[in-house]
Structure 1
Amino acid sequence: MSKILGKWANFGREIRTAIVFGSKGENVIFVDGKYQVCAFGKNEDGCLGTGDDDELKVPVRIEELCDEEIEGFECGISGDKCSIFAISSSGAVFSWGNNEDGQLGLGTTEYTKIPTKIMGKLAQKMVVQVACGGNHTLVLTSEGQVYAFGQNVDEQLGLGSRTGRANESVPRLVGGFPDGEIVTWIACHAASSFALLHSGGLCGWGSCWNSRSGLGPSMNNQASPVKLTTLDNVVITRIVSGAYFTLALTDKGKVYAWGDNDKGQSGNGTTSWNSFPEVISMAERVKDIAATCYPNHPCAAITDNNQVYIWGNCNGQKVLKPILTSFSSLEEVFAVASPQVSYHRFQLKNKKEVSSKSKNSMYERFRNAFDNTETADFSFIVEGKKIHVHKMLLAISSDVFKRMFLGDFEDSTAKEKIIDHISYNSFYAFLKYLYTDEVDFTSELALEVYAVAHLYQVTSLMEECEKIMKSTISVQNAAAIYDKAILFEAEDLCGFCFNYCMEHLVEVVNSIDLDGCKEEVILGVYRRAAGQQNNVE
């Protein structure tokens, strides 16, 4: 998370999603729990979508988006100019910002400061993903179709040679994919575009210079999708593009790279470009990969063991082979890079396919049963308020509840129970998770929910809370999290907090003045560090 977003992380509202962007990571747009869309930051050229270009020092509503149920964002970067896209829950796309080549898909090349819905051929389509190449854009629909618009000087729109290299300001359907195949994921950089097929195959088009399209060293651009036959023997599960290079992840956890390699983006120990996709040597199986269009950003990969590796241009340094970091997520890599931005490749769930969460599904019935006075057979009283539950459902969710309700204890026949020393909000969030599997609480509550989950031995929720705490750890809360990690013998979380405290020791120690109870925790950090030093010696 960028520091600029962290500054506002505690301003009293739930954050559904957010994007941090700009040449210095100075702009933020977020969606709160009620789908209100707000922005703050430098707002150069009106990129925040509020209709003007005044700096916004406090969050300001983006009126055009507040009733649209925005689920995710994408941002295209060209120099210091940004093109922004917002996807709604219905699959509508709104765009604004830089539009010099028609990359907003609005039928013009005029810069716009107000989010505008993309119409034309997308008006009746459900868009699930947007990929930005800087000056051109791809969109993927729920039907597996790809539309393109914007700059086409390298034929990166994939519209065929019959169109020449003319730019397009309205969405145009990309054809030429193998018969019987549908597209499940898209990616692009400034000069080339890519589509992942449901079979695990990959198509590329656009610039072939420096093998940017992955199709070999040919100097001829490709005006239509062409399958990368060099990857025919592997199943690709994810593709991401950086600044003129691309990474692909296979179902076996292998990472392939191609395109520009002047900063070591190929991770092969050299700065020579590959003629074809080449596998990157990694000691562990990789489960996800990341790259951005910012030239100073590194490539990143996270393994099945949650080990994060980076390589390439790491804030001005050439790292030619993957190196292990102390990060715990891909998001952290880019939250401390230059510029600091958010990283999340968003794809809207296709509502037509998500039948497991339909109104008549088991999932929905459990959701509706939670805290339902009509069907509940037990109540917890927390801070004077009741939460209505079902004994049998809790009994199959936690061994603690199983012993409580099915054993020879007073609770097995009681109708209610008073819960002390636990806040209502944390206990409510804990019980709701047992019904819905939803992590529906703010980061500030994660530590309390973690303690409740530990008390009732719900390890899956503890793991979810750990993820939240790791991603939002700060000087102010590091000691508290470290203390709880020691208390609950959470070795992984304890080690993470310890490393954070050591890296930010001065700031954490200075925060003791604000909370005297941290002193013993900090002393514990010193003792552990001294013990490690003695072991080394």
Structure 2
Amino acid sequence: MNLLHSGLTYIDPRKLHSWAPDNTVQIIEIAACHSAHTSAAKTQGGHVYMWGQCRGQSVVLPHLTHFSCTDDVFACFATPAVSWRLLSVEPDDHLTVAESLKREFDNPNTADLKFLVDGKYIYAHKVLLKIRCEHFRSSLEDSEDDIVEMSEFSYPVYRAFLEYLYTDSINLPPEEAVGLLDLATFYRENRLKKLCQQTIKQGICEENAIALLSAAVKYDAQDLEEFCFRFCINHLTVVTQTSGFAEMDHDLLKNFISKASRVGAFKN
């Protein structure tokens, strides 16, 4: 059964130049119901906001809800209750291959391998890791160990890496994505490296721009390096007043000033 309300509109968040309750939140999903005059947005951090008509009241500014998805906003607050996206109702026992893999991530009941990171376990499946990652294909080939201790990377970063192997997506703030970019470079996971760069681009701001530029240079992410450099040039006055700029590595600072001069940043 398919359900769709024709009065709903989905707006691609990539086309939104800037929207946020505090001008720093990164929006990944936004939708609106014209008939109910209700709108909702979901941030990169998983928070859901709503504004518009709410049970007879007018909410002018985006209001933080307790929901985890935008669908719940329209189901709870819109009159009548609607859905902004096409829904497919399937039997409870029907799961696609991708959905089944996502469900099994970090499942101690079916896992045959545990990673010990920062004193905490992450449960995984050897066969899937070997299928999805060249590093594991070689390191687990003749290994009979069921516990692997990992000290090179933090728990959030390594968990995100393993989850990526199950879901083909990442969900990290830009600062953590820098650590995952380091891991992706170390394991030569080029697709993961691209996803990390996309996440970092979405989360860049004046305060972290220099740190992200430094990370891009360190991990030889040339596209990300150029993006961060252009951001710094476009926000040069604010960026040069941040603590990150004051603590900038000498060689990186020298190269930054030289490159900025060549593009005319200091004409005035």
TM-score by length of 2: 0.72
Give the partner amino acid of 2:158: F
1:32: Cα distance to partner? 6.3
Offset of 1:458 from its aligned partner? 1.9
Deviation at 1:50, TM superposition (A): 7.2
Aligned 8 A contact 1:358 1:364 in 2? no
Alignment-derived partner of residue 237 in structure 2 = 506
- Is 1:466–1:493's contact at 8 Å kept on the other side of the alignment? yes
Q: Which runs of 4+ in 1 moved over 6 A?
A: 32-36
How much does 1:510 deviate?
0.5
Give the 3-state SS of the residue equivalent to 1:17 in structure 2: strand
Cα gap change, 1:491 to 1:515, in 2 (>3 Å):
closer
Q: Which residue of 2 aligns with 1:361?
A: 96
CA distance in 2, matches of 1:368, 1:517: 43
Change beyond 3 A, Cα 1:35–1:453: closer
Alignment-mate amino acid for residue 461 of structure 1: L
Instruction: Please tell me whether residue 403 in structure 1 is matched to residue 138 in structure 2.
Output: yes
Partner of 1:49: 54
Matched, 1:416 2:147: yes
> Of the candidates 461, 464, 484, which is equivalent to residue 215 of structure 2?
484
Q: Deviations over 1:250-307 (max 9, x none)?
A: xxxxxxxxxxxxxxxxxxxxxxxxxxxxxxxxxxxxxxxxxxxxxxxxxxxxxxxxxx
Check 1:55–1:446 CA distance in 2 against 1; reply closer, same or farther (3 A cut). same
Q: Find the counterpart in structure 1 of residue 10 from structure 2.
A: none
> Which amino acid letter does the alignment assign opposite residue 38 of structure 1?
Y
2-side partners of 1:387 and 1:437: how far apart? 17
- 8 Å Cα contact 2:206-2:238 kept in structure 1: yes
Q: Is the partner of 1:523 in helix, strand or coil?
A: helix
Aligned match of 1:30:
41
Select which of 182, 191, 195 maps to 1:464.
Answer: 195
Aligned to 1:394: 129
- Structure ID, larger Rg: 1
The answer for the alignment partner of 1:70 in structure 2 is 70
Residue equivalent to 1:524: 255
1:447 Cα deviation (Å)? 2.0
Q: Which residue of 1 aligns with 2:170?
A: 439
Q: CA deviation at 1:495?
A: 1.1
Answer yes or no: is the 8 Å Cα contact 1:39–1:48 preserved in 2. Answer: no
- What is the CA distance between 1:48 and its match in structure 2? 5.8
What SS does structure 1 have at the residue aligned with 2:54?
Answer: coil
Residue number in structure 2 paired with 1:2: 18
CA distance in 2, matches of 1:9, 1:33: 7
CA distance in 1, matches of 2:137, 2:123: 17
Cross-structure match for 1:187: none
SS in 2 for 1:422: coil
- Give the alignment partner of residue 351 of structure 1, picking from 78, 85, 88: 88
Shift of 1:400: 1.6
Higher helix share: 2
Q: 1:435 Cα deviation (Å)?
A: 0.8
Residues 532/404 of structure 1: CA separation in 2 closer, same or farther (3 Å cut): farther
- 1: CA distance, partners of 2:203 / 2:187: 24
Partners of 2:117 and 2:228 in 1: CA distance = 31
Structure number with higher relative contact order (C-alpha < 8 Å, ≥ 6 residues apart): 2
Cα distance, 1:522–1:49 mapped onto 2, change above 3 Å: farther
**1:455 deviation in Å?**
2.0
- The equivalent residue for 1:116 is 79
Task: Name the counterpart of 2:120.
Answer: 385
Distance 2:42 2:172 in 1: 15
User: Cα–Cα, structure 1 residues 361 and 39, in superposed 2: closer, same or farther, change >3 Å?
Assistant: closer
Matched-pair contact (CA < 8 Å) for 2:112–2:126: yes
**Ranges in structure 2 where 5+ consecutive residues have no aligned partner:** 1-16, 33-38
Length-normalised TM-score, structure 1? 0.39
Query: Deviation per CA, 1:403-436, whole angstroms, max 9, x where unpaired?
Result: 21126xxxx2322222224221121111111012
Residues 400, 3 of structure 1: CA spacing in aligned structure 2 closer, same or farther, 3 A cutoff?
same
For residues 449-472 of structure 1, give each alpha carbon's deviation from its aligned partner in whole angstroms, at most 9, with x where no partner exists.
Answer: 222222222222221221222222
Q: C-alpha displacement at 1:439, in angstroms?
A: 2.4
Q: 1:418 to 1:504 in 2, by over 3 A?
A: same
Number of aligned residues: 242
**1:385, distance to aligned residue in structure 2 (A):** 0.1
Q: Which residue of 1 aligns with 2:14?
A: none
Deviations 1:221-267 (A, max 9, x none): xxxxxxxxxxxxxxxxxxxxxxxxxxxxxxxxxxxxxxxxxxxxxxx
Q: How far, CA to CA, are the matches of 1:5 and 1:446 in structure 2? A: 23
Quick check: 2:173–2:203 contact (8 Å CA) kept in 1? no
Q: In structure 2, how many angstroms separate the alpha carbons of the residues matched to 1:50 and 1:477?
A: 40
Residue 49 of structure 1 aligns to which amino acid in structure 2?
C
Following the alignment from structure 2 to structure 1, what is the Cα–Cα distance between the partners of residues 45 and 241? Answer: 37
